[in-house]
Each structure stands twice: as C-alpha cells, then as structure tokens.
A = this chain, B = another copy of it.
Amino acid sequence: MSERRSRSGGRAARRQARTDTSTVNIVPYVKRQVPVYEFASEEVLDLVERNADTVLEEIGVNFSEDPEAIAMWKEAGADIDGERVRFPKGLCRELIKTAPSEFTQHARNPERNVQIGGNNMVFAPAYGPPFVRDLDSGRRYATIEDFHNFVKLTYMNPGLHHSGGTVCEPVDLPVNKRHLDMVESHIRNSDKPFMGSVTAPERAQDTVDMAKIVFGADFVDSNCCITSLININSPLTLDATMLGALKVYARNNQATIISPFIVGGAMSPVTVLGTAAQVYAEVQAGLAFSQLVRPGAPVIFGTFATAISMQSGAPTFGTPEPSQVLHIAGALARRLKLPFRSGGGLCASKIADAQAAYESANTLNHAALAGVNFMLHTAGWLEGGLAMGYEKFIMDADQAAMLQVFLQGLDLSDNGQALDAIREVGPGQHYLGCAHTQANFENAFFRSSIADSNSFEQWEADGALDAAQRANALYKKYLEDYQQPALDPAVDEALTAFIAQKKAAVPDSNV
C-alpha cells in the first residue's frame, strides 16, 4: 500500500484532496435507488392508523386563537367545541387527497431545483439554533454574519441540496426585521432553494414577496419556490402563529412541512406506538388544513421525534425509540402518498465529539433508510438544536455525501460486476495495479473530506489532529474559497429596494 501512497503524490496531494472545495454540488438531489427499510408491518401501521383515527375523532386537535381556522373546519364538516376540532372518521385523509405526492421546489438556478417526494431525497442544514460554536471562540450568540457563513457553506457543500431556513438565529438583528436579512442571504449567497419565515403572517408574506421578485409573481403562484416549516405544538395543538404562516404559504401555493415537534414523554406518551399514533393524528390535521386553505397546495408530512431522558428530563437524540417512530412515520407518509420530512444529524452533545457523532449518525442512517424526502437538520446541529456548530456542520455534511452514495445503489454493469478483474488478478495477488482498478480509479469508493484514514505514524506526523480540528481548518478554507453566485441586476436592485422599504416602514422591535 505504500506503493499506492507514494504514487498518489504523498502528503501534499492528500492535503490538497482533503481540502478541495471546488466542487459546488455534484447532483441537485438524491434519486434513491435502494429500497426503504420496512420496519413496521402493515398490521402495525393499521393499528397506528386506527389509534390516530380514534384520537382525531374522540380527542381532537386545538386550532388555537384562530377563529378563521375554526370556521373553515366547521364548514368542512368537523365537530367544533371552542378551539377544539374533532374530525369524523376519514375526513382528514379525504381532504389530504388533493395534496401532490411529489413536487418541484424551484431554485433561482434551475440546475438546483429539487424534486420533493417519491424516491427523491433533499438534504438541508440545521434550522433554528440561537447559538453558534466553533473551536476558536466556543459558544456564543449567532449573528447575521454567522447566518451568511452557513448559507455559504451549504451552497458549497456537495452533501447538501437545499439552503434551509433559519440556519441560525441572527440575534443581533431586530426580531421583526431579521427575516428580511435571512431570506436575502439565501437569495444572494446561494442559488439553492430555500425556506421562508414562519414567525408571523406578514413575515411569511414578505418571504413570498421576495420570492416574487426573484421568480416573478405569476411563476410563484403556480410553482413552489419556498418550503417552510410549520411546527405543531404537541400534543395536539396548532397555534395562531403557525396557522398564520401556514395560511399565507398555502394560499400562495407554497410548500409547508407539517411537523409535530415531540420530545417523547413530555409532549407525547413514553411509548413508541403512543407517540406514533399522536404524530399521525396531529400531522393529518395539519395536512388536511393546508388543503382546506388551498386544495393542491404542496405539503410535506413532517416528524421530529426525540425522547426525554428519564434521568435528567432533557431530550436525548440518536436513541432507539425515536428511530422507531421515524420509520413508522415514514411508512405512514407513504400510505398517504405524501413527501416525508424527518430530522438528520440530531444530537444532545454540546460539542463535536464522539457523542455528537454517534447520535447524529444514528438519526442520519435511520432517516435515510426510512426514505426521507426532505431531511432537515442534516448538518450542524448541536446541543438539542440550541447551537449550530461550524465543525459539526462540516462533519455532518461529509456524512450526508456518504449517504448519497449508499442511496444511489449498485452499478450492475459488467464493469460493476468486475468478473474480469477477478480473472485478471486471481488467487493470492492484489488488485492495486490491475487494469480494472486503473480504469475505475477516479470514481471508485467514497472519499471523505474530513476522515483521516492514514497510518498512526502519518497521522502523528500531520499533527495528531482530531476530526473537529480538521473540520475547523476545512470550514475556513470553504469560506475563503467562496464565490457568490451571480444575481440578475434587476432582481438585485428590486430586492434591495424592497428590503429598504420594509425596514423603513416600521420601527425595530424585538417581538
């Protein structure tokens, strides 16, 4: 193997290969060619469906502080009791039938359009952390500068297909205006598709209006240009904020992810099947409501499930029960013929250590094998979502790139079968220099951007760095090499004017 090593150019070449940031995405999204893991039997899925129906019919869901939503449900034939909506059996699933099973979310660069649903998989970065962390400065509040950085890192990373939404919360900007800067950052610093603001109906509308500047108003009304995250306040509550945003996006024909946010044992029962039934009831209510607002509006079956630590009361990640919930939820989404969203590199660890990696790898693998169509929180997540890690981001994105290779399946060609190689080499020899290896050298085997597979001695000579230290260097290299994708000058101008006008219209506020 030392022969191969020297032939490949030695240490300098290896370092070069490791820090190559020139590949801005290879494929716009993953076309899954391998089966999903069928964790739950049809009998189990039937059971969960029956129980979800019972929950919808007997217990119902609160549509909180939104008389319009209540009126819409009354009109649709639901049983209304104050804010509580109870659903005659089958009503939700009947309404959901108008939702598309697959749709295209457009990017301002059409080559980066993503297909959401079916066998397609789209990976997006983490969403929501108010803190950031890197090895240089530890943990601190996120700023708009960090936000820009993560949009840039996502743009450049071949493991991620979607720019995401609140990649971190820019707490240095006023709450009532920061959505303008965030959406602007997604538009200017990337040409991948993005998510919109959900913190108030008018901010959702601003997002739609900015998309109209980029894509044109008519185009936006008939095409999905924004996908946004509507969390359900589990158990069994959709609140006015989320309903407000949902209505804006659905009315504008933009996609929403209806996503119960569950720490099992706190927001759902302490069992897998109990949590699954509640999730299925909640998500059906939200999905159906989106179709009441605008039949045919694109919508995604979302799930975010974790489990409480019975020792400390804190949420845990990468543990077996939420993985089981994830597989059941994925199968239920397939039953409804809708796209499925789950989490990705989730962890409770505060730093990018082995705990973070085990936990993240567990959810990444289960989500991938569950056939997730939209993987939110693919990269960067630390501390139960409170912090976005620069090094963690690089590591997770590398894992996402690996998953991509796994999910693309097998090469069934004669070259893939490689019988000639086995004939050429024969017993007791090695394949390093054989014709088949030479012919396939460039594309054979996944190459990690961050793993060190060298000998102990080489690793020591390279400074005995851990994965986080290597990731620290790589994220800086990415940012150094970053080049902003060109933006149409007319769009540029209109966007600047829109944001200036919006910012001038009202005073700063932190609510």
Contacts and interface: CB of A to CB of B under 8 A. Distances in A.
Interface of A: 1-5, 8, 13-14, 17-18, 34-35, 37-41, 44, 47, 51, 54-55, 58-62, 64, 84, 139, 233, 235-237, 264-275, 277-278, 307-321, 323-324, 348-362, 365-366, 369, 383-384, 386-387, 395, 399, 402-403, 405-406, 410-412, 415-419, 421-423, 425-432, 436-437, 440-441, 444-448, 450-456, 458-460, 464, 466-468
A349 B452 contact: yes
A309 B267 CA distance: 45
Contact of A321 (B4, B358, B446): B446
14 contacts: A1-B266, A1-B314, A8-B313, A44-B410, A59-B423, A270-B441, A271-B421, A274-B418, A320-B402, A321-B405, A321-B445, A350-B460, A352-B354, A355-B466
B84 A427 contact: yes
A451 B271 contact: no
A358 B361 contact: yes
A150 to B, nearest CB: 19
A67 to B, nearest CB: 17
A315 to B, nearest CB: 7
Report how many copies the assembly holds. 2
Contacts of A39: 34-35
Nearest to A406: B320
B406 A324 contact: yes
Contact of A418 (B269, B356, B406): B269
Interface of A is mostly: mixed
B353 A361 contact: no
Nearest to A8: B311
A204 B417 CA distance: 38
A447 B321 CA distance: 11
A366 to B, nearest CB: 7
Contacts of A416: 271-274
A452 B273 contact: no
A269 B431 contact: yes
Contacts of A369: 37, 369
Contact of A274 (B265, B309, B421): B421
A270 B418 contact: yes
Contact of A308 (B37, B395, B445): B445
Contacts of A444: 265, 270-271, 310
